[in-house]
Amino acid sequence: MQDKLTKEEVMHVLDLARLDATDEEIEKYRRELKVMISEIDKIKELNDFDEDILIAPWVNDATYREENLEIKNGDILKNVPNKKGNFICCDVEVLKDE
């Protein structure tokens, strides 16, 4: 691991998260990211583990119900405020990144 994250690397992470930050916040995030990366590096160093200990405390006995739903279009559409035939109409808003 490198000793120091650059301001540009932190700004790249902020850009990926679509966040803005002041210089003080960037420095704070740089320190916090460095701690996170060092903790991840510690986990990566653990290459001597036994897969048998990677167990869950329960047995996978999930059961699923049968889906026997029969809903008629009229029942679904009766409470829709804006519809045309069997289609639900809704407004669409297009956002552009600047």
- The one-letter code for the residue type at 25 is E
Taking the C-alpha atoms of residue 80 and residue 16, their distance in angstroms, rounded to an integer, is 38
pLDDT at position 3 is 63
pLDDT at position 57 is 67
pLDDT at position 87 is 85
pLDDT at position 52 is 58
pLDDT at position 88 is 86
In which residue are the tokens 């916040």 written?
Answer: 25
pLDDT at position 1 is 47
pLDDT mean values, one per 10 residues, the chain (98 residues): 77 92 92 90 73 64 73 76 86 79
pLDDT at position 50 is 61
Tokens at residue 28, please? 């704070």
